[in-house]
């Protein structure tokens, strides 16, 4: 069984979650209204007012005048996406990303009810991130995605193996993956408007009218899909950087910045249940020359105090105190799942 989990209007919902004063107000995200910017995302209340992705922001505001229009903030969306995917990985070992806002989760081998997993996932994302998650469950990838799109207010829709055809049949034929405008127009010319009507079409007619592409679509219409989940491993690295307002010479101030970075990294590691075996310190001096120092430890680390102790040792191997520093950063790699072995820093190898 597969889950497809998504946050509709992701950019706009992230902005609303980040700004509590927007909770009761429609939100649009896109380009500058006065420069013919277009809508990239909209919250559900804005979509109900007729706002569509791709329309000019000025037109969207005319349809939904109470909406707040915001410019795109990709850094915020990427950071939130990392946290969202950490929740996905807590529920399934195999996860395939489908953009910043969605993923397929493989529940193969789990005895737990998919609807219960989906409900728990929705609760955890709502509580931790204040984001509205929609989840579809099905034995086939594209059906799970369609189920998530169809679940409406309930937030979860489970299409069991024996119900795939009854779920697909009433849907418009344009909902099939790969059914573009020209294909849909050809099918409408044959009086075929639903998936069920397409499934009932003779193979010879499909091959004559649509060729091999039509046969592929027909396989989907009858509930056959050979697409497999392509799971990505957990993140291979994590990093945090801090730019100082003015180049800084004092080691104590730089150590304070390192403390903030290690706390952020500890939270990121905890979300993914990971620990790191390698840490890299990145320093850019005031004259923009950059240098790095690194160390590898035999036993993975995930606590901020351990990371900070090692980062400060690396800092002492730079020219800090003699040359002003404009930017400082830390990168972690050699990431592994947290296990029982969590020894301290007395056993490390220099590299």
**pLDDT bucket at 342, cuts 50 / 70 / 90:** very low
169-221: which CATH architecture? Orthogonal Bundle (1.10)
Going from the C-alpha of 13 to that of each of 64, 252, 271, the distances in angstroms are: 16, 39, 21
In this structure, the dihedral spanned by the alpha carbons of residues 36, 39, 40 and 41, taken in order and rounded to 10 degrees, is: 160
The token duo for 82 is: 């990392």
- Percent of residues, the chain, with pLDDT higher than 70: 96
pTM, 2 dp: 0.73
Give residue-wise pLDDT tens across range 246-275.
Answer: 999 999 999 999 999 999 899 888 878 889
Question: What architecture is the 237-350 domain classified under in CATH?
Answer: 2-Layer Sandwich (3.30)
Hey, where are the domains in the chain? Answer: 1-161, 169-221, 237-350
| pLDDT score, position 347 | 33
pLDDT at 346: 38
Distances (CA, A) of 51 to 33, 45, 66, 89, 154: 14, 9, 12, 33, 22
The CATH number assigned to the domain with range 1-161 reads 3.30.70.270
């Amino acid at each position: 069984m597969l889950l497809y989990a998504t946050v509709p209007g992701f950019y706009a919902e992230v902005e609303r979650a980040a700004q509590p004063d927007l909770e009761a107000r429609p939100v649009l995200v896109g380009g500058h209204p006065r420069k013919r910017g277009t809508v990239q995302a909209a919250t559900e209340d804005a979509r109900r007012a007729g706002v569509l992705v791709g329309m000019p922001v000025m037109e969207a505001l005319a349809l939904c005048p109470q909406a707040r229009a915001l410019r795109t903030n990709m850094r915020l969306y990427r950071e939130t996406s990392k946290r969202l995917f950490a929740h996905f990985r807590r529920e399934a070992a195999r996860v395939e990303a489908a953009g910043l806002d969605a993923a397929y989760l493989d529940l193969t081998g789990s005895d737990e009810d998919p609807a219960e997993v989906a409900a728990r996932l929705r609760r955890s994302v709502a509580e931790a991130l204040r984001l509205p998650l929609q989840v579809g469950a099905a034995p086939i990838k594209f059906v799970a995605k369609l189920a998530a799109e169809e679940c409406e207010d309930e937030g979860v829709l489970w299409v069991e193996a024996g119900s795939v055809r009854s779920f697909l049949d009433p849907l418009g034929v344009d909902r099939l993956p790969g059914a573009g405008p020209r294909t849909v127009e050809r099918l409408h010319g044959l009086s075929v408007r639903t998936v069920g009507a397409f499934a009932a079409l003779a193979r010879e007619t499909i091959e004559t009218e649509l060729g091999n592409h039509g046969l592929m679509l027909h396989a989907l219409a009858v509930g056959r899909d050979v697409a497999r989940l392509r799971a990505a491993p957990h993140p291979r690295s994590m990093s945090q950087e801090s730019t100082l307002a003015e180049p800084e010479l004092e080691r104590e101030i730089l150590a304070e910045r390192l403390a903030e970075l290690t706390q952020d990294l500890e939270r990121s590691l905890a979300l993914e249940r990971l620990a790191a075996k390698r840490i890299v310190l990145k320093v850019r001096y005031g004259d923009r020359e950059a240098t790095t120092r690194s160390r590898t430890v035999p036993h993975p680390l995930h606590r901020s105090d351990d990371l900070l102790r090692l980062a400060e040792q690396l800092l002492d191997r730079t020219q800090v105190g003699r040359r002003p520093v404009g930017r400082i950063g830390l990168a972690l790699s050699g990431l592994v799942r947290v296990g029982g072995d969590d020894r301290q820093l007395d056993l490390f190898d220099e590299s």
